[in-house]
Structure 1
Amino acid sequence: MNTCKATLRVLLAHRLYIFIYLVLIGIMMFSISGAQLFGSRDEGGSDTYAPGRPTVAVIDRDANRGRIAQEMREYLADSSDLVDLQDDPRTLQQAVASNWVDLIVIIPDGYAEGLIASASSAGADSADSAAGGADSAGSDASHDGAPTVETVTSYTSGVGAMASMDVSGFLGMTRTALIGGNVAVTDGDWAAKYGDADTTAAAPDGIAPTDAAQKGTGTQTQTGTTPDQSTLDMLPNGRLDNLTLDDLADAAKRVRAIAADGNANHAIAVDRSDQASTQAAAGSSAAAANASTDADTAVSGFGSTMKTALYPLFLAMTVCTALVLSVFNAGETRRRLAASPQRFSLMGIQRLATIGVFALIVTVGYLLATLGLMLVAGADVAALPPSGIAMTVIAAFVYALMTVACGFLLGECSSSDTMANGFANLFGLLIMFTSGMWLPVDMMPGFMTVIGRMLPGWWYCTAVDQALGIGTAAHDGVSVAGWAGSVGLVALFAAAFLCIGLAVGRIRRSRPSAVSQAVTQLAE
């Protein structure tokens, strides 16, 4: 009992190391795991993709002719944050240089008139212009002499380039709607293509000339279906006559209305359905899928957080064990202990047992902190399998005993504080980066996996994976045999460190060093 109390007093005397290595570094590792847990919760909370919102400024030098500037601002308002800038060179240059905005759009003077002129001279036939749909923004704005707007994109973010694509898309679709909504095919056009024949009989698939002559968004058959390309090639050329700014304003308004229509433009969402779930009822299948996803997230988060105990446990237990044993192995202290009636080996076992109990307490505390972090992050703790938790805790405790054995080896080598701290930090970092805890195994170079398999950290992380069926065991699931083998290898590392420490201690004690003063002083 006195040995245990003395061991605890020595541990408390080195509480600064416990605070730094166990508490502070433990908080750091918990912060990393917490970020992953909160990130998983946020990703699972919404299946809708929400892109970043760029800051856009629209400079109108065309006096809002054809309502282009107004409709463009309303079109961009749903996906961008609009700001106002003065149209003077100094302000625009400062906005670009200081990165005030992600995109500046400058509508030049005469843009609306140029867009109408390019549409009038396009020469597209009625079928192509009516049923061809919205061309790509870049090609539609750059062909047939269509005018362009000037854009200045931020150099620090990609959202400005995405907003520039939205601007080009709006202008391209406006030009397409202007052509498709105002094209006309008259009886004279039918006569010019088919001669004096009956135009109704010459119309392919029962399309009447009056149907083709109507203004609208597409030439439709009598059954309401869009003709195929071969049918469109049989139609006469249409014409665009007397386009006005009001026609351009109507086209821009239609484009903005279609873009704002949620039924026509659905939000990007994640489809979690599969063939098996579609055969069941919609409500029950969705609930089961969500429950399964929550359970997988909880198990994965628990295993990842318990793996992070690898580094702080090794630092704290190795350094504390080495320092405690170095105090008891000091020359005068060791002589007094050897002269006591109690066996020296029994006192050594008591010291190791006390440190082992401390390691168990630390492991249980890390487990409770992990569960508390999961509750704060909103993870489903009830979904964790009890057997998986038990096997994970056993693996962590065996790993903690391995760190005690490593500290015992350092203590038997009579290592100083500097040596113990240096070894623990260097070897701990090597274990952490080669264990698969910090980087996924499939992303690690080959030589790192080879080194990792020769260290205990790899097998501790593998034991956690086998206990919970995650990580390297995700395809095979929970494997008790694999877990037992990995834990056994960690225990073999502990036994190896312990045996080497005993051998070093026996050699050191068989060759005792002098503990008296190097110089003898004569007493008068």
Structure 2
Amino acid sequence: MSTFKTSLRILVAHRLYILIYLVLMSAGAVFVGTGSGNATDAGVTQVTADVAVIDRDDSAVSRALAEYVGSVGNTRPLEDTKQALQDATAKDRIQYILIIPAGFGEELQAAAQDGTQPPAVETVVSYRSYMGSLMNVHTDSYLNQVYDYLHALNTDATGTQSAEQSVERAVTLAKGSMRGGSAARLITQDALPLPESLKLYTLFSLFPLTAFCVVAIAVLMASLNRPPVHSRVSSAPVTGRSRGLGLLGACLLVGLVAWLWFFCLGTAVFAADRIVDAAPRLGVIGLALAAYTLNGVAMGFLVGQLRLGENAANAIAVIGGMAFSVLAGAWAPLDMLPDAVIAVARLTPGYWATLATGGAFNAGSTSAQVLTPLLGYCGICALFAVAIGAIGLGVGRSRARAAV
């Protein structure tokens, strides 16, 4: 009996895994990509945060600060009570809460006059969104402007300017400085840019790609190792080399099907109109996904050689696939993670696959000078698959010797 044909029958018999890990999860990736907005030549959409200001000082400085924060964010009403603050924070209704303590205006004027450290305001920043942190940067910049202008006015004062006039002048100058920015405009590249939705789809696909390959191959090898199936395959008039090649072909076929499904689906849904113009960069993305898929195949082969149960294979597929995706930067940018995590991420295949795909999306041209380093990243990712596969072969050889 042909090992390859037997493997195909086993895979078809376990088509529920194909439905869950391949079809349903790819539909989720399409949903994630579709839900993202793409920048167009018409302009750039400015995203603002929901903010609330609690002014306990009611001075000229605090009123100006509250007015500025309201101008760069969407102001929401909020009571100055502990319960209201906790409720807004827990439910994430407001991304940024600014609390101006009593006496803040006078302390800021005194600090500017003496040249000492300015007082601080209290803030509550949402941990679920970057917009709250961005609002905090805006607030700090505005306060620094007011402080600098107050200090300069106090230094240059001739004695004819009152404290109220200095504050009013400093607030006016700070407001003008903060509004002195220019509007954002989208600059087109020499190469037609790939849609952001395809990038999100590709990143989200890393998890189901790994999970499907690991589960499918581990279940396949577990079925082949069952006594009835193993005896029938072993009794066939073929050499052990042929049986090994048949199993290798079946494992590679699993990876090929997964790669073709995810890559072709993403290209057809998100980049069908750019296949010709962006073909070189799409090729790099496809090659990076192929190299990453090989790692899923190698992991499935290793799990199969360990002869773990079906439940264990599912657990390893889900947890391992998710861990690899996180370390690849698929769920959150690696820049936001600690340096120790980034160092560990470099030792995983997903990091190099994401590096290649990210470079393809950000490439301004399709010259060999730009794309060649990305091919090197794909090669590094594939080397991880070779290493994992070699470990799997070593485990299998050890089990074979122990059985003899």
Q: TM-score, normalised by structure 2?
A: 0.61
Q: Distance in 2 between matches of 1:483 and 1:432?
A: 19
Amino acid at match of 1:340: A
**1:320 maps to 2:216:** yes
**1:484 maps to 2:375:** yes
**1:424 maps to 2:303:** no
Match of 1:402 among 295, 300, 320: 295
Q: Taking structure 1 as reference, are residues 46 and 322 closer, same or farther at Cα in structure 2, changes over 3 Å only?
A: same
Q: Distance in 2 between matches of 1:512 and 1:23?
A: 39
Q: Which residue of 2 aligns with 1:270?
A: 183
Q: CA deviation at 1:319?
A: 0.8
Amino acid at match of 1:428: G
SS in 2 for 1:369: helix
Q: Distance in 1 between matches of 2:359 and 2:43?
A: 31
Q: Which residue of 2 aligns with 1:13?
A: 13
Structure index of larger Rg: 1
**1:385 maps to 2:278:** yes
Q: Taking structure 1 as reference, are residues 459 and 323 closer, same or farther at Cα in structure 2, changes over 3 Å only?
A: same
SS in 1 for 2:30: helix
Q: Which residue of 2 aligns with 1:373?
A: 269
**1:295 maps to 2:192:** yes
Amino acid at match of 2:329: G
Q: Which residue of 2 aligns with 1:169?
A: none
**Of the two structures, which has the highest relative contact order with CA contacts closer than 8 Å and spacing of 6 or more?**
2
SS in 1 for 2:232: helix
Amino acid at match of 1:25: M
Q: In the TM superposition, what are the counterparts of 1:354-369 in structure 2 within 5 Å?
A: 354-369=250-265
SS in 2 for 1:40: coil
Q: Distance in 1 between matches of 2:46 and 2:291?
A: 44
SS in 2 for 1:434: helix
Spell out, residue by residue over 1:132-159, the C-alpha distance to the aligned partner (whole angstroms, 9 max, x if none).
xxx99969xxxxxxxxxxxx94556779
Contact in 2 for aligned 1:468/1:478 (Cα 8 Å): no
Amino acid at match of 1:295: L
SS in 1 for 2:403: coil
Spell out, residue by residue over 1:10-32, the C-alpha distance to the aligned partner (whole angstroms, 9 max, x if none).
11111112221222222223322
Q: Distance in 2 between matches of 1:31 and 1:328?
A: 36
Amino acid at match of 2:28: M
Task: Please identify, of 406-415 and 327-336, the stretch whose mean Cα deviation from structure 2 is larger.
Answer: 327-336
Spell out, residue by residue over 1:275-300, the C-alpha distance to the aligned partner (whole angstroms, 9 max, x if none).
xxxxxxxxxxxxxx66549933x254
Q: Which residue of 2 aligns with 1:213?
A: none
Q: Taking structure 1 as reference, are residues 332 and 506 closer, same or farther at Cα in structure 2, changes over 3 Å only?
A: farther
Q: Which residue of 1 aligns with 2:169?
A: none
Structure 2 residue runs without a partner (length 5+):
53-59, 65-75, 80-87, 98-159, 161-180
Spell out, residue by residue over 1:174-221, the C-alpha distance to the aligned partner (whole angstroms, 9 max, x if none).
xxxxxxxxxxxxxxxxxxxxxxxxxxxxxxxxxxxxxxxxxxxxxxxx
Q: Taking structure 1 as reference, are residues 30 and 384 closer, same or farther at Cα in structure 2, changes over 3 Å only?
A: farther
Q: Taking structure 1 as reference, are residues 452 and 347 closer, same or farther at Cα in structure 2, changes over 3 Å only?
A: same
Q: Which residue of 2 aligns with 1:40?
A: 38
Q: Which residue of 2 aligns with 1:145?
A: none
Spell out, residue by residue over 1:243-281, the C-alpha distance to the aligned partner (whole angstroms, 9 max, x if none).
xxxxxxxxxxxxxxxxxxxxxxxxx99342xxxxxxxxx
Contact in 2 for aligned 1:47/1:269 (Cα 8 Å): no
Q: Taking structure 1 as reference, are residues 136 and 341 closer, same or farther at Cα in structure 2, changes over 3 Å only?
A: closer
Q: Taking structure 1 as reference, are residues 158 and 14 closer, same or farther at Cα in structure 2, changes over 3 Å only?
A: closer
Aligned residues: 292
Q: Distance in 2 between matches of 1:398 and 1:309?
A: 13
SS in 2 for 1:415: coil
Q: CA deviation at 1:438?
A: 1.6
Q: Distance in 2 between matches of 1:480 and 1:153?
A: 51
Q: Which residue of 2 aligns with 1:440?
A: 333
Q: Distance in 2 between matches of 1:137 and 1:431?
A: 47
Q: In the TM superposition, what are the counterparts of 1:111-190 in structure 2 within 5 Å?
A: 153-155=77-79
Q: Distance in 1 between matches of 2:47 and 2:26?
A: 34
Q: Taking structure 1 as reference, are residues 294 and 479 closer, same or farther at Cα in structure 2, changes over 3 Å only?
A: closer
Q: Distance in 1 between matches of 2:373 and 2:44?
A: 36
Q: Distance in 2 between matches of 1:499 and 1:393?
A: 24
Contact in 2 for aligned 1:299/1:384 (Cα 8 Å): no
Q: CA deviation at 1:407?
A: 0.7
Q: TM-score, normalised by structure 1?
A: 0.48
Q: Which residue of 2 aligns with 1:238?
A: none
Q: Taking structure 1 as reference, are residues 332 and 270 closer, same or farther at Cα in structure 2, changes over 3 Å only?
A: same
